[in-house]
A and B are shown apart, each in its own frame.
Chain A
Amino acid sequence: MLTIYLIILLGLSFVSYFYGKRLIRRRVYEQKVSQHSRDSYHGLYLSLYLIIPSIILTLIWLASSPNIIDSLLKSKIKNSLPDLSLGEINILKSKVISAYDGILPVDSEQMKMFVDFYNSANIISTNFIIIISALVSVSFFLFALNRIRVRFNARSKVENILKFSMILASCVAIITTIGIVLSLIIETIEFFKIIKITDFLFGLQWSPQIALREDQVAGEGLFGAIPIFIGTILITLIAMFIAVPIGLLSAIYLSEYSKPKIRAIAKPMLEVLAGIPTVVYGFFAALTVAPFLRNSGASVGLSLSSESALAAGLVMGIMIIPLISSLSDDVINAVPQSLREGSAALGSTQSETVKLVILPAALPGIVSAILLALSRAIGETMIVVMAAGVAANLTFNPFESVTAVTVQIVVLLIGDQEFDSAKTLAAFALGFTLFIITLLLNVLSIYIVRKYREQYD
């Protein structure tokens, strides 16, 4: 129903564009006055006025109506069955919605009543929004139609509408981000009501297996995050150890030494590395690199576990090479040619120029590239899930199995979960901590770039 309506709306706005164009042509012809804005602006003015307000209204309604209908259903249930507790009402409500979706059978008279109620509420809601939106659409269209004159400034009106739409789009992005952060914060606060914040931040043991039901046998649940953060740091350090030298040196080669032909081939090839899905890196790490490391370790008498920090770190390092090399290459290229010539004219060799002039001038950009890569590595999930392991060992030994923050979030949220158990909430606390760390790294990189940016201008 709604889909058909939206398609019709789109069609009408398309038609009104041509209508607007024809209208203004005719007016110009009749009145023999030169027009202010070109035909297409009048057309756009009409069609945008027709579609944008009603689309916005529909979207807002679509976003908010499920909540309204839910609470209507809840109060309906409460009125007809006043004995139920809040939890039971919620469960019944979920059952009704599932039955409406056809997942559960409608097994009782009462259930049928609720489903019918829910159904009719939905239909009314849809009809309601279609009527309102159509009314809005028509009135805006008539308003716009009324304003079209030969000397009417449709051009700047259209500009304003487009500007407004762009502001709206960026608001959606910002508000979504704020919403995600807020929900992270709220759930994290919930978690710290159950587990002390000091236990989380400074505890040395991580074993979140707590009993979900009273008849289950499980430990108390220990939420000391130190071992898993150590794991993340260890893997990230190994990755950076691989990626920074290789990425930086290849960036220097590409921008300073390579011939244009080689650069034209090598740079896209490096960037292909960035396009490989991380899950492919993950099974590459788990199935190829880890066994290889274990076997070669065994041949020199080292015992590596089959899931080692080294394997995960190595592959993660390979993954972020293109990030570092591509960003560094851009900043090195941005160093003015005049500095290279100045240095060469003083008799520097090429490597002296790179070491003494290019790298210092490009340093802020390179540092921010490295920090960006670092936050990418810290947040990387797939590779560590597949190659690093799950056991939270407190160790700095890269040959042993460690776990990472992202792995633990995955583990915590797999399987049947209660939303308010410490185990589930712990995932939010971990996610929030990770978010803070990467945020700080990003802020630091922006600060470094800002502070040193204008050095060579």
Chain B
Amino acid sequence: MKDVGSMIPNQYKITTSNVNVDYGNKRALHDINLQIEEKEVTALIGPSGCGKSTFIRCLNRMNDLIEGCKVEGKIMIDEVDINSPDTDIVELRARIGMVFQKPNPFPKSIYDNVAYGPRIHGLAKSNEDLDNIVTKSLKRAGLWNEVEDRLDASGLSLSGGQQQRLCIARAIAVNPDILLMDEPCSALDPIATAVIEELINELKERYTIVIVTHSMQQAARLSEKTAYFHLGKMIEYDITSNIFTNPKHEMTEAYISGRIG
């Protein structure tokens, strides 16, 4: 943790300092300090209820939607404080794509699902433009070959894994530079999970990815850095291989070896 923290802060994509989150009277996150590098996969692991989902939702201010949720502390993305009153939340969320635990395609056609973001942000000048964006996004999400002949079918007619890739396509269609993934594979079978993991490996060429996961193997396979959360505190944050082979904190070791969690 020390060697990560001592680097020059400017080169981090996301920097959080002393982030505290309260749900009503209950504190969910305590003083989270984390630096996330550009175009890397950062995994957040930890037992249920440890605050990793709460943390990832701070990064695009999704917690605003929850009644009684209060976020304190500083979250800098590209050196801009996203919690400052001047921040345009629409613009912020357009730059940060999010993929949720349960696939949540809109009850619209596959095409309209992907075109949703570009349409509300006016990204396409013409219909062909929009077609191109949809095609490109579906290709990047690895879904194009499976759906190219049925773009008019409902997004809900797809299988769970396809739906999740549709949600990824929908997120990258607005051209974000950060992708937040909140347990993207927890509702999927192993085969669909493998496909998504492969996709994440390709996507990190272009995007900074923060992924919350329940599966330690997934974190080990995918991420460059891993943060271990426990009861609302960040216990340890380091290069993934260090976390899994040589954890510095005994709680991390206990979790890794399966004694807690």
Assembled-state Cα–Cα distance A346/B121 (Å): 9
Interface residue? A357 (CB, 8 A) = yes
Binds B, one of A155-163, A197-205, A239-247, A334-342: A334-342
8 Å CB contact of B174 from A347, A357, A361, A457: A347
Contact present for A345 and B97 (CB under 8 Å): yes
Contact present for B117 and A346 (CB under 8 Å): yes
Contact present for A345 and B62 (CB under 8 Å): yes
Residue of A nearest to B154 (CB): A455
Contact present for A343 and B121 (CB under 8 Å): no
B93 / chain A contacts, CB cutoff of 8 Å: 344-347
Closest approach, in angstroms, between the C-beta of B175 and any C-beta of chain A? 11
Given A338-B100, A352-B120, A345 and B107 contact (CB-CB distance below 8 Å): no
Binary contact track A177-212/B, C-beta < 8 Å → 1, others 0: 000000000000000000000000000000000000
Contact present for B90 and A342 (CB under 8 Å): no
Given A352-B120, A356-B116, A347 and B94 contact (CB-CB distance below 8 Å): yes
Contact present for A346 and B116 (CB under 8 Å): yes
Interface residue? B7 (CB, 8 A) = no
A352 / chain B contacts, CB cutoff of 8 Å: 120
A303 / chain B contacts, CB cutoff of 8 Å: none
Given A340-B65, A341-B65, A356-B116, A346 and B94 contact (CB-CB distance below 8 Å): yes
Assembled-state Cα–Cα distance A410/B154 (Å): 51
B90 / chain A contacts, CB cutoff of 8 Å: 347-349
Closest approach, in angstroms, between the C-beta of A331 and any C-beta of chain B? 13
- Centre residue among B98, B107, B120, B170 by max chain A CB count within 10 A: B107
B107 / chain A contacts, CB cutoff of 8 Å: 339, 360-361, 455-456
Closest approach, in angstroms, between the C-beta of A297 and any C-beta of chain B? 44
Closest approach, in angstroms, between the C-beta of A140 and any C-beta of chain B? 55
Assembled-state Cα–Cα distance A357/B119 (Å): 13
B154 / chain A contacts, CB cutoff of 8 Å: 455
Interface residue? A260 (CB, 8 A) = yes
Contact present for A456 and B116 (CB under 8 Å): no
Interface residue? B104 (CB, 8 A) = yes
A357 / chain B contacts, CB cutoff of 8 Å: 106
Residue of B nearest to A455 (CB): B107
Residue of B nearest to A335 (CB): B107
Number of interface residues of A (CB under 8 A): 23
Interface residue tally of chain B, by bracket?
20 to 34
> Does more than half of chain A's interface fall in helix, strand or loop, or is it mixed?
helix
Given A339-B104, A346-B94, A349-B90, A455 and B156 contact (CB-CB distance below 8 Å): yes
Binary contact track A237-266/B, C-beta < 8 Å → 1, others 0: 000000000000000000000011000000
- Centre residue among B65, B100, B106, B108 by max chain A CB count within 10 A: B106
- Centre residue among A340, A347, A352 by max chain B CB count within 10 A: A347
8 Å CB contact of B102 from A338, A356, A455: A338
Which residues of B in the span 77-134 have a Cβ within 8 Å of any Cβ on A?
90-94, 96-98, 100, 102, 104-108, 116-117, 120-121
Assembled-state Cα–Cα distance A356/B106 (Å): 10
A356 / chain B contacts, CB cutoff of 8 Å: 116, 120
Closest approach, in angstroms, between the C-beta of A205 and any C-beta of chain B? 50
Contact present for B104 and A346 (CB under 8 Å): no
Interface residue? B171 (CB, 8 A) = yes
Contact present for B117 and A347 (CB under 8 Å): yes
Closest approach, in angstroms, between the C-beta of A93 and any C-beta of chain B? 65
Contact present for B100 and A342 (CB under 8 Å): yes
Interface residue? B43 (CB, 8 A) = no
B97 / chain A contacts, CB cutoff of 8 Å: 345-346
Interface residue? B212 (CB, 8 A) = no
Assembled-state Cα–Cα distance A260/B116 (Å): 29
Residue of B nearest to A344 (CB): B65
Interface residue? B60 (CB, 8 A) = yes
Given A344-B62, A346-B94, A336 and B174 contact (CB-CB distance below 8 Å): no
Interface residue? B167 (CB, 8 A) = yes
Contact present for A346 and B171 (CB under 8 Å): yes
Assembled-state Cα–Cα distance A347/B120 (Å): 8
Interface residue? B67 (CB, 8 A) = yes
8 Å CB contact of A341 from B62, B67, B170: B62
Which residues of B in the span 147-186 have a Cβ within 8 Å of any Cβ on A?
154, 156, 167, 170-171, 174
The interface of chain B, by Cβ under 8 A from chain A, is 60, 62, 65, 67, 90-94, 96-98, 100, 102, 104-108, 116-117, 120-121, 154, 156, 167, 170-171, 174
A-B residue pairs, 8 tightest by C-beta: A347-B94, A345-B98, A338-B104, A347-B93, A455-B107, A346-B117, A342-B104, A456-B107
Q: 19 A-B contacts, Cβ less than 8 Å apart? A: A336-B104, A341-B65, A341-B104, A342-B100, A343-B116, A344-B62, A345-B60, A345-B93, A345-B96, A345-B100, A345-B171, A346-B170, A346-B171, A346-B174, A347-B94, A347-B117, A348-B90, A348-B120, A356-B116
A339-B104, A345-B60 given; 17 more Cβ-contact pairs under 8 Å: A259-B67, A336-B104, A341-B62, A341-B98, A343-B106, A345-B171, A346-B94, A346-B120, A347-B90, A347-B117, A347-B121, A347-B174, A356-B120, A360-B107, A455-B154, A456-B107, A457-B156
